Structure 1
C-alpha cells in the first residue's frame, strides 16, 4: 500500500521508498527525513483542497507532503494491538 492511500489515523510501518528515476532526489530526501524501513508512520490530517498536502507523522516528527511524494513511500498496516 502507498502512504498516500493510507486512511487517516491508521498506524503503518514503512517498507521502502520507491525511486522513480535513477538518483531520485525526492526519494533520497524522504529517506533522509526518516522514511526508512521499519519506521512507524501515520497520516494525521489532509489539507482542505483536494486533500493536499498530507500531514504525516514519522516517528515523533511531522511533515507536510504532497500526495505525489507520499505515493513513493510503501507501507504495510500494523496489526491491531
Structure 2
C-alpha cells in the first residue's frame, strides 16, 4: 500500500519521493514543477521554522523554502537512506 502524505508532515532529515502534485492553480503548479517538485524526485527535509512554517527542502542540491499552504498539495512517500 502506498503510504503517501503531504510533504510538510515529514520530519527533518527524512528523504522522500514525490508521488504527486495535486494543486489546481495552474500558475502555482507550474512554479512548483519548475522548482523541481516533480513526481519521482527525491528530496530531503532540511529545516523547519520554530512554528513549522515555512519548511526548507533540498531539491536537486538547492534549498527551497515553502509555506505549509504550498506544501500541503505535494504528496510523497518516505524512502530509505542510501548506504554509500
TM-score, length-scaled by structure 2:
0.82
Note the 1:28-43 alignment, pairs <5 A.
28-43=30-45
Corresponding residue for 2:23?
Answer: 19
Please list every run of at least 4 consecutive aligned residues from structure 1 whose deviation after the TM superposition is greater than 3 angstroms: none
Structure 1 residue 79: deviation in Å? 3.0
What is the CA-CA distance between 1:80 and the residue it aligns to?
Answer: 4.8
Q: Which runs of 5+ in 1 are unaligned?
A: none
Corresponding pairs, count: 78
**Structure 2 partner of 1:3:** 7
In structure 2, what is the Cα distance between the partners aligned to 1:44 and 1:59?
A: 13
- TM-score, normalised to structure 1, is 0.85
Determine whether 1:59 maps to 2:64.
no
Name the structure 1 match of 2:76. 75
Question: Distance in 2 between the 1:79 and 1:47 partners?
Answer: 24
